[in-house]
Amino acid sequence: MSAPAHSSGTFAIGGELTVHRLGFGAMRLPGMMDGSERRASRELLREAVRLGIDLIDTAHAYGMSEELIADALHPYPDGLVIATKGGLGHGFLPDGRPERLRADCEESLRRLRLDTIDLWQLHEPDPAVPLEEQLGAIRELRDEGKIRFVGVSNVSDEELRRARHLIEIATVQNRFNIAEQRADDVLRTCEAEGIGFMPFAPIAMGGLADASIGPVGAAARDGATPAQIALAWLLRRSPVVLPIPGTGSLEHLRENVDAALLALPVGEGAATDRG
């Protein structure tokens, strides 16, 4: 795998899986597609790896995403970390029944053509199932060698604290970006404990790419796009932050990678920085 042309640094997931801090989120790959769309998705994924991205995040619930990743990249290059998630049922509602978590994990293994998933994340805690049962099922999968490291997603700081008492947590994936910082307490805990924090919707599903939006638009300069500034802001926010922007466009993919070169001065966007 080629070295990326960026300077965002690296982070070791679980203290062992070292990745560059700007990853790729595969949620926006098409769910149903014809041959030309499949070829375009393969080209996008291969270009991401060529650009030095070595963390790709997907989920059992993302339609054909896992199969597309395997189709484009298997056999996987050394150092590439594929992270996936499970535990969502119909209507994207949480389903944390142990049998569902096992089925999702085993189906992801098949789709991704893997014996072990490097990072498997609980997509969202299910309030109808005790957290102890959900994480107990995940611990069994880890102990069977089907999962290497465990992450959680869409959690509060209290849920993260409870989870960490039940199993080692390597990453947290919550919605977080320059305009939405409700998960700041979770990020602070991750930073204190050396847990990777993977903000999804890092540019608010593309919304922050609009140059008219407050602090991002105001900060645009030197040819940088608002989306690049939003990503650079996240990379600067904390050394445990691992943004996973998604796109279906080669142009936007390259633009996102270039965001890691953008060195925001201290104090840039001060109105949105934490105190």
Which residues are known catalytic residues? 62
- Alpha-carbon gap, residue 216 to 113, rounded angstroms: 40
> What letter represents residue 178's amino acid?
I
CA dihedral 194, 117, 52, 38 (to 10 degrees): -140
With a CB cutoff of 8 Å and minimum separation 6, the contacts of 195 are: 169, 170, 171, 172, 189, 240
Dump strand ranges (E) for 91-242.
117-122, 147-153, 171-173, 196-197
Residue 44: how many CA atoms within 13 Å on its side-chain side? 26
Element (H, E) at 57: strand 55-57
Element (H, E) at 252: helix 250-258
User: What residues pair up with 88 in beta bridges, in sequence order?
Assistant: 94
Report the relative pairing of strands 55-57 and 24-25 from DSSP bridges. Answer: parallel
CB-CB neighbours of 82 under 10 Å:
23
